[in-house]
Amino acid sequence: MNSLDALEFLPYLEAGQIPEGPFLGKVGVYAIFDGDRTLQYIGFSRDIYFSLKQHLTRRPQSCHWVKQQLVDRPSRTALEAIRQNWIAAWGSIPVGNGADEALWAQAIDAKTWITPAEQAAYEAADDAGKIKVLKQLARRVEEEIKASLTARGVTMALRFDPKLKEQGLLTLK
């Protein structure tokens, strides 16, 4: 296992895309850093590329650099051990693994962005109407997220799970 300090910083985006070569289909532990190279989040995944896409949609301004440790024979226990060692070596819990963990690891809850008019429409609606309001809300939030990603320089196509929009949730498919 390599220490986090010993690993190379890799750019999160190249020409508006997450580079596939170092990440696509790779299993391991990764650390995400902001533009100042301040550690934001440490995670592990069976497909680092897909996980990085998810994090980018959830926290676009915090995703500028990545360090990773690939694992040949992964087990949840081994991946978690590396992650815990990195956190311990860092000396403090990264914000994305502490207070803001849900923002990094859970689907985006569009309901937290609801306007008073949308809230009133939701409360006045029957069950089918509530689903319609949530889908419209999710679509509006999706457009705001995509605008933020475009402003960040992201050019890759992103598709959110249409079924979850009915619940007012956004996560990549």
Give tens-digit pLDDT for 84-100. Answer: 999 999 999 999 999 99
Task: Please report, for the domain that includes residue 54, its CATH number.
Answer: 3.40.1440.10
Task: Indicate if the pLDDT at residue 79 is higher than 90.
Answer: yes
| Residues 6+ positions from 158 with CB-CB distance below 8 Å | 53, 57, 146, 149, 172
Of the three residues 52, 71, 104, the one that is the final residue of a domain is 104
Q: Are residues 14 and 44 in the same domain?
A: yes
Domain count, the chain: 2
pLDDT tens across 109-166, in order?
999 999 999 999 999 999 999 999 999 999 999 999 999 999 999 999 999 999 999 9
Do 100 and 112 sit in the same domain of this protein? no
Q: Is the pLDDT of residue 1 over 70?
A: no
Cα–Cα distance, 121 to 51 (Å, whole number): 34
Predicted confidence (pLDDT) at residue 31 exceeds the cutoff of 70? yes
Is the domain of 115 the same as that of 132?
A: yes
Q: Residue 137 has which token pair? A: 């809300």
**Pair type for strands 65-70 and 169-170:** unpaired
114 and 92, same structural domain?
no
CB 172 within 8 A of CB 53: yes
Write down the mean pLDDT value for the chain.
95
d(CA 170, CA 173): 9
Judge whether 45 and 80 are in contact, CB under 8 Å.
no
Give the percent of the chain with pLDDT over 70.
99
The answer on 80 and 31 residing in a single domain is yes
Confidence class of residue 73 from pLDDT cuts 50, 70 and 90?
confident
pLDDT value for 74: 83
Tell whether the model's pLDDT for residue 106 goes beyond 80: yes
Whether residues 99 and 113 share a domain: the answer is no
Residue range(s) defining the domain that contains residue 64 = 4-104
Phi, psi of 172 (to 5 degrees): -70, 150
